[in-house]
Amino acid sequence: MELSYKTAEKALQAAKEKALSLNIPVSIVIVDAGGHLIALARLDSVYGVIDFAIKKAKTAVMFGVNSDVMGSIISETGIHGYGMLNSNEGLLTIAGGVVLLNAEGKIIGAIGSSGGTPDQDKEIAEAGAHAIA
């Protein structure tokens, strides 16, 4: 199954509900397996975090792991991490980018949240991912 708009909308809605319950003004994005934007919600967040949310989601889908996991991997590479961080128009390797999986466990996209703390962003993105799992 590829990521349809209907499925992306379901994940986005669950993430929005989580953000609203936490009273956090975030931007949330859904990207497909190619890292292309499918859906976006800006919950009264500042403009700049839209780009952060997109980069978190793209980082997760490009490498097949959540953005904070990729951050741990890059932090162990020393000087070589610079090239990795600046690849693909820049990565964002802090929490808030979560891979989206289909029923067979195949990556079909990712969700990114930005505007809260890293832990809050991860919690919001995970709520969206769990909604379609």
CB 60 within 8 A of CB 96: no
Residue count of the chain:
133
Element (DSSP H or E) covering residue 59: helix 48-63
Give per-residue pLDDT as tens, 107-120: 999 999 999 999 99
User: Which tokens in the block code for residue 114?
Assistant: 């930005």
Q: Which pLDDT score, from 0 to 100, does residue 78 have?
A: 65
Give yes or no for residue 93 having a pLDDT over 80. no
The predicted-structure confidence for 33-55, as pLDDT tens digits, reads as follows 999 999 999 998 777 789 999 99
For residue 104, report the phi and psi dihedrals to the nearest 5 degrees: -90, 0
DSSP assignment letter at 73: H
Q: Give the span between the Cα atoms of 9 and 51, in whole angstroms.
A: 19
Q: Residue 94: its pLDDT value, please?
A: 75
